[in-house]
Amino acid sequence: MTSAKLPQRATTAETCQWLGEQTGTQWNLARLLEHGLTPYVWVDYSDEYADLFAEGITGYSAPVVYIEDTKRLAAGSDDVLIRFTRDSDRIAIKLKEPGMRMPLDAVRFFQRDIEQLAGALLNPPAPETPPAPKESLKGISKEQVLIVFGGMAKVDLEKALAGGISIFGDDCARVRKNSRGGKNTHLWNPVTLALGLNDVYRVPMRSLKKAFATQPQLIEWRAAWLESLRLLGE
C-alpha cells in the first residue's frame, strides 16, 4: 500500500480523500472517529499550558483522547475542545477548566494510524468467536496490567496496584492467586479493571476496546469483555 500522497500528519480532508481512494467509500470526520482514529492538534509552548511540556520541548502533537471531546467533534462542532490529553511525555493529563480550544482545521491524523485502518478494512481477519475465559482463569498479573493499561489514565498504575485500594483492590478488580503463587501475589480481572478505569479515571472506552481487540494478554477475556459491553449498551 503506497503512502506517497499521504502526509505524515494529514488534515481531515487529506485523510478522507486518501481513505476514499483506498476503500472506494465516502469518509468524513465523524466516520474517522467512529473507526477509532485518534485526532491530534499541534500545540506550541505557552505559559498557560506549561504543564504539558517536558524540559526543552517547544511544541508537539497533542491527542484528543477524552470520549466527550471526540463525541463533540463527531457531532459536528465548529472547533476542537480538549479537556483531557497526553503531555509531551505521553502522560495523561487533565487541563484546567474550561479546557483548550483550537480551530477545527487544526485537526491532524497520523499517517501510520490511517494506513493501519485502511489495512484492517481491506484485509479483515476471518470471523471468529472469542474464547470464553477458562473457569480456572482468575486474572492477569501486575506486569500484564502495566503492559495493557499503562499510560491510559493519569495515575501511577504500578503504585496503585501495589496499594490495592479503590478499583485496584479486593472489592473491585483484584483477585488472589492460588497458594502456589505465593500468599502475597495477586492478579487483576482485566474486564472489571477496564470498566473501573473508564468510570473512575475517564479512560476512553475506545482505547479500552482497542486493548481487548489487540493485546494478546487479553485474548481469553474478550468474550467476557464483549458481554459486558453488550450489557452496558456500548
**What are 205-233's pLDDT values in tens digits?**
888 998 888 888 888 898 889 988 888 77
pLDDT for position 135: 40
For residue 1, pLDDT beyond 90:
no
Q: Which helix (H) or strand (E) holds 187?
A: strand 186-188
Tell me the three-class secondary structure of 188-219, residue by residue.
ECHHHHHHHHHHHHCCCHHHHHHHHHHCHHHH
Say how many Å lie between the first and final Cα of the chain, rounded.
33
Give the burial class of 189: count Cβ atoms within 10 A of its Cβ; 0-12 exposed, 13-18 middle, 19 or more buried: buried
74 against 162, higher pLDDT? 74
65 against 31, higher pLDDT? 31
Give the burial class of 172: count Cβ atoms within 10 A of its Cβ; 0-12 exposed, 13-18 middle, 19 or more buried: middle
pTM of the model: 0.55
Tell me the average pLDDT across 66-80.
91
Residue holding cell 500468599?
183
Q: Distance (Å, rounded) from C-alpha 63 to C-alpha 40?
A: 4
Domain ranges across the chain: 9-122, 142-232
Q: Distance (Å, rounded) from C-alpha 84 to C-alpha 211?
A: 19
144 against 128, higher pLDDT? 144
